[in-house]
Amino acid sequence: MSAESPRSLDLMAAETLDTTAGDLPLVELELVIAERTWRILHSDAVLSHDEEQRFLRGETAASRPYGVVLWPAAIAMAHELASRDLAGLRVLELGAGTGLPGLVAAARGAQVVQTDRQRLVLHVCERNAALNGVTTIVHRVADWTTWDDAAAYDLIIGSDVLYAPALHPHLRHVFEHNLAPSGTVLLSDPLRAQSLPLLEAMERGGWHVALEAHDHGDQIVLSVRNQGPPIPSEDLLRLFEPFETHGREGSQGLGLGLYIVSEIVRAHGGTITVSSTAEAGTAFITRWPRKRPPRSRTATQRSFVADVPPGG
């Protein structure tokens, strides 16, 4: 599944917000998602990887409009929601940002509550809702660290909300106390290293974590991870060889499963790798070119969507 690229209406500021940190110009962008055109106000900020990492480490005091950036993860989330039947579902959006995912969910018939700890961010969400004629969304100021919402939701969504490990316990509290028994947590993330510990901890705690890949650039990347016992290092070297059962006594298999997978991936011009440690678990990563190249090419993985229904 791919997210279509945004098309700029123009590069003129559509609105300027007067904030305590100074004027914040907003630019209007046009996005086509599931054959509907959305007009989205955002800060038009382009943040480098180094700037982002300094912010996440708390090493900069510079005021940047992070809350109203149109992040790639939000666009990926919007496309995912557009493919789902959401009619009548109660949806909670955490860290609403520009509000795009919640807008798409509301258009699909969901009862949406958008939350953020910054009033400025929710003002932009409200402006975008009005710009697109969506009138059913509830906007609420809420901080994960002082969370007091007791309502149950069928779907909890968040785009790029796993960036700070210190906030993971608070996010998990929201997931566990606000998700309806048959509900789902849906997260979209650029797969930073600091994002994975929460998902791994939840899986160990009985949640089922499923990953879906998105294609960006010229490559599709699919990563599957579990937290079982690590694979011995001597077996890793032979993992994709045929007729290898890797010391499993009483195994009924022929030892061909991973060999066949690897051959299929390679036949399509892709690669498959595996890593396995007691601390990080076991991860299989496949990289598939969108078009079979005459020679190997590289591209960057941008985001994934994690479906996290509760275990039980």
Tens digits of residue pLDDT in 283-292: 777 777 766 5
Q: Which residue has the tokens 């557009």?
A: 82
CATH superfamily of domain region 219-296: Histidine kinase-like ATPase, C-terminal domain (3.30.565.10)
- pLDDT exceeds cutoff 50 at 6: no
Tens digits of residue pLDDT in 255-284: 677 888 888 888 878 888 888 887 767 777
What's the confidence (pLDDT) of residue 11?
Answer: 37
- pLDDT exceeds cutoff 80 at 177: yes
- The architecture (CATH level 2) of 67-215 comes to 3-Layer(aba) Sandwich (3.40)
Tens digits of residue pLDDT in 43-97: 876 555 566 666 666 665 555 567 788 888 898 899 889 989 999 999 999 999 9
- pLDDT exceeds cutoff 80 at 243: no
Neighbours of 120 (CB within 10 A): 16
Neighbours of 170 (CB within 10 A): 15
Which pTM was predicted?
0.68
The answer to whether 65 touches 43, Cβ cutoff 8 Å, is yes
Q: Is the pLDDT higher at 184 or at 27? A: 184
Residue-range domain boundaries for the chain: 67-215, 219-296
Tell me what the pLDDT averaged over the chain comes to.
Answer: 78
Cα atoms in the 13 Å half-sphere on the side-chain side of 62? 12
Pairing assessment for the beta strands 22-33 and 36-42 based on DSSP bridges:
antiparallel
- Calculate what percentage of the chain has a pLDDT beyond 70: 69
**Residue among 244, 216, 257, 235 at smallest CA distance from 75:** 216
